[in-house]
Amino acid sequence: METKLRMVLPDQELLKLYEQMFLSREFEESCAEQYTKGHITGFLHLYSGQEAVAVGATAGLHRDDYILSAYREHAQAIVRGAEPKRVMAELFGKATGLCKGKGGSMHLFDPAINFMGGYAIVGGQFPISVGLAFASRYRGEDRVTACFFGDGAVNQGTFHESLNWARLWELPVLFICENNFYGIGTEVHRSSALASIHRRTCGYDIPSEKVDGMDVIAVYKAVKHAAEKVRESGLPYFIEAATYRFRGHSMADPGKYRSAAEHELWKSRDPIPGYAKRLLEEGITTREALDAIEARCKATVEEAVVFAEQSPWPEESEVWEDIYV
C-alpha cells in the first residue's frame, strides 16, 4: 500500500514538488531545443526522466545542507534555488550566467544557495564532499553534505577513498547514487562487479538502502529520514535511487545501446504524469490547478531563454579574471 500523500507533506508542499519536476523537465527539453539551434554548445547532458531524484532529495534536505553533483546538474541547481534564467544564460555562455558564462552546463556553482558545484570529472565530487563535511563539523555547523553521483562514478578510486574517509572520520555525508543503469553506453553489470550498488558500502560499514528513483515521494521520504540520521549520528549514509534518463547520455549520443522496449518500460514510469495522477486521485489538486502550474513553468522557461538570448557575451577581460585574487 502506498502511503497517502497528505500523510507525508502538506498540500502546498506536495504541489511544489510537482512544480519543480515539471519546471526541470521543461527546462531540459528547452535546452535540447537551444542546443539544436546552436545556442548551447559543447556537451549537454540532460536530466529528463530523473527529476524525482533531485526534487525529492532536495526537499528532504535543509536549505543550508551542501549539495554537490556531477555534470547532469541543471535541475539540481534550479531546484536548490538557482534562477532558471541565470542557469540558461550560463549554458549560453552569457555574462549574466550563474558563473558569468564561463563554466557552462557542467560547472554550475552557487555557494549562496549551498550548491557546491557540478563536476565534469566523474568522481571528482567525492573527496570534495568529504572535505566540506569535515569543515562543517569542524566549525560546529549542523550541516549535511549531500553528494550526488551516477552509477558509473562508483568505479573511480575516489569513490572508495571517500566512503572510507567519511566513515573513518565520522563525517556527515549523505551519498546519493542516481543509478540510471548506464555510464554512457555501458550498463552497470558490464562495469561493476557487484551490480547492486548500495550493497557496495558494506566494505566501509556505511548503512545504505535502495529507493525507487521514479517516485518523488519515496525519494523524499528516504532522503529526509537519511538526512536526519546523518544529522543525529554525524555518520555517513548511502542511498541508491533507481532511475532512468529518457535521452541519450549527452545531446551527441544517439543512445543506440538501449532497446526500445526498455525505454518504453521506463517511459511508462515517467515520474511526472505518475505523480500528477496521484495528486488528482487523492484530491490534492484539480486538473485546472495543474494546468496553471504547468503554464507558469513554461513561461519561466520561455523567459529564461529570452533572457539568455538578450544577455551580452562576457568581456574579453574576463579571460583573465578569477584566476588568482
Partner 1 sequence: MAKLNMVQAINLALREEMARDDRVVVMGEDVGRDGGVFRVTEGLREHFGAERVIDTPLSESGIVGAATGMAAYGLRPVAEIQFMGFIYSALDQLSAHGARLRTRSRGRYTCPLVVRTPYGAGIKAPELHEESSEAIFCHIPGIKVVAPSGPYTAKGLMLAALRDPDPVLYLEPTRLYRLIREEVPEGEYLTELGRARLARTGDNVTVIAWGSMLERVLKAVEPYSADVIDLLTLSPFDAETVLASVRKTGRAVIVHEAIKTCGLGAEIAATIAEDAILHLRAPVLRVTAPDVPVPLGKLIDHYLPTAEQIRAALDEVLQY
Ligand X SMILES: Cc1ncc(C[n+]2csc(CCOP(=O)(O)OP(=O)(O)O)c2C)c(N)n1
Interface residues with partner 1 (CB under 8 A) are 41-43, 92-93, 101-107, 120-123, 152-153, 155-158, 183-186, 190-192, 252-253, 257, 313-314, 316, 318-320, 323
Question: Looking at residue 252, what DSSP letter applies?
Answer: T
Cα separation, 99 vs 117, in Å, equals: 11
Cell numbers linked to 308? 539568455
Q: How many residues bind Mg ion (CB under 5 A)?
A: 4
96 contributes a contact to ligand X by CB under 6 A: no
Residue 107 or residue 137: which is nearer to ligand X going by CB?
A: 107
In the list 42, 81, 184, 310, the residue contacting ligand X (rule: CB under 6 A) is 184
Contact indicator for 312, 95 with CB cutoff of 8 Å: yes
Name the closest residue to ligand X (Cβ).
150
According to CB under 6 A, which one of 20, 53, 72, 276 is a site residue for ligand X? 72
**One of 93, 118, 124, 150 touching Mg ion (CB under 5 A):** 150
Task: List the grid coordinates of 220.
Answer: 523524499
Q: How many CB atoms lie within 10 A of CB 138?
A: 8
Q: Does 183 bind ligand X (CB under 6 A)?
A: yes
- Output the CA angle 176-69-226, nearest 5 degrees: 25
CA-nearest of 237, 187, 220 to 59 is 220
72 binds, among partner 1, Mg ion, ligand X, none (CB under 5 to 8 A by kind): ligand X
Question: Which CB sits closer to partner 1, 25 or 94?
Answer: 94
Residue from 250, 251, 223 nearest 239 by CA: 223
Interacting residue ranges for ligand X, rule: CB under 6 A: 72, 120-122, 150-153, 180, 182-184, 249
